[in-house]
Amino acid sequence: MIKRFLSFEWKQFTRASYFQKGLAIKILLILASIYFGGIAIIMGGSMFFILKELVPEVDPIITINNFIVYWFLFEILIRYFIQQLPVMNVKPLMTIPIKRNTVIHYLLGKTTLSFFNFLSLLVFLPFSIVLLVKGYPVLNVFCWFVSILFLTLSINYLNFLVNKSNLVFYIIAPVLIGLIGLEYYNIFAISKPIGVAFNTLYNTPYLLILPLLLCIGLYYINFKYIKKGFYLDDAISKKVKAVNATDLSWMNRFGSVAPFLKNDVKMIMRNARPKQVLMMSFFFLFYGLFFFTQEVYVEKMPYILAFAAIFITGGFLLSFGQLVPSWDSEYYKMLMSQNIPYRQYLESKWYLMVVAVIIAFILSTPYIYFGWDIYFMIAAGALFNIGLNTFITLFGGALNRVPIELNTKAKAFSNTNGFNPTQLLIALPKMLLPIIIFFIPYQFISFNAGLIALAASGTLGIVFKNFFLNKIENIYQKGKYKTVAAFSEKN
């Protein structure tokens, strides 16, 4: 029966109208998996020696056990945003004599083939082999390694349960940031008690039973949860949801573009995919912590800080904006049949991105802690985002004709729904151009000259806003009917 399920899914994939697009994306994902898998193997194989050099007075296995809690916390967050849980069309299977248990076991079994499960294997297997070569006890190393795999599978099944809820984000993200901050400032080190637990797990092989029971327990809970709703009546019944009206009258101040802005805000508030992208863009605010805390970037390569500044204030622009006009694909035909100027539609998207950049800039105020030069760099990056990146993003949207399902259950990062390879090319000038604009004046004049050049480029873009919007409108108008036809296709 499992073989037949695999055959069904292969036929569904190869016979779909979007086979070529789906195949190209899957090839890219396979290449990316090979690349990151190779990095994981190298990291796992060299981790023992790196830790031995960095902390020579502490056994590497103890160091790993002390900080492995952060690996699992990051894994929970990454899985929540990126891991695409496997699904299959089970409605036709409900009408034929196939045991429900078989189908459910198959669905849960597919989750074990996730790249994230193999990532832990690729990291900790080489590390464990190095431990054995160095003479560590075989039984202890083996049981510790298997325990890590069971804990990884436990997180996999936990993600299956919580993937439909934002609760994990609201709990895990602040906890993770808080724990890192407390550890960094030596207030409270969560690594110590967790480290004791994992070291005990290593020193006492028979405790392997605890991760095994946790994994089995979560699998059983998932099985019962799926089986509870595995009925044809439940699958085809329509769920009625109460819609809360939102007062957005304050947006009327934007004039003729206000109806479009209200529509976008309501879309973000009421649909799963835009909500995920909005939460994802929030994380871009913390992007600067990686660069601004490294002296090599601040002192020797400050032009790289322009790259960080773009991401800090441009998270929403880069994630949400790149999928314009795909967000409106479900009703784009109706929208284009109305007596509405295309200019108003595009201008509303521009205002939405501008407001998001301004809000992100306000939220980035704590970066003053790193110095006024850093904060002025973020301000210059915000001006560049408003004055140039918004128009580059809208231009890229004219070439984006891939529809989006607003309430798809796919995760924001891993969801290729709405993906267009052209977006990768359009993203290059948005990331490289600010570095070039800052670098040339910085190299030949001074740091402040680079800031002025970056801010001035954005200011010029704002001044010539009407010119850019008119040019972009003409491009959209020329491809209008191709876009309507593309959005009408059903994946």
pLDDT at 413: 42
Low-confidence ranges of the chain (pLDDT < 50): 17-19, 235-243, 409-419, 491
pLDDT at 235: 44
Distant-in-sequence, close-in-space partners of 469: CB < 8 Å, separation ≥ 6: 343, 346, 347, 350, 391, 394
pLDDT at 489: 64
Q: Where are the domains of the chain?
A: 2-236, 249-488
pLDDT at 43: 87
pLDDT at 8: 63
Could you give the CA distance from residue 365 to residue 309 in angstroms, rounded to a whole number? 12
Could you identify the residue written with the tokens 């405790």? 207
pLDDT at 173: 66
- Give residue-wise pLDDT tens across range 443-474: 888 888 988 998 999 999 999 988 998 888 88
pLDDT at 148: 92
Half-sphere exposure of 409 (CA within 13 A, CB side): 11
Peptide bond into 325 cis (omega under 30): yes
Nearest residue to 71 via CA among 148, 136, 146, 126: 148
- Give residue-wise pLDDT tens across range 342-365: 788 888 888 888 988 999 999 889
Could you give the CA distance from residue 213 to residue 305 in angstroms, rounded to a whole number? 47
Nearest residue to 426 via CA among 400, 454, 457, 464: 400
Cα–Cα distances (Å) from 18 to 324, 397, 409, 480, in that order, read: 20, 20, 19, 21
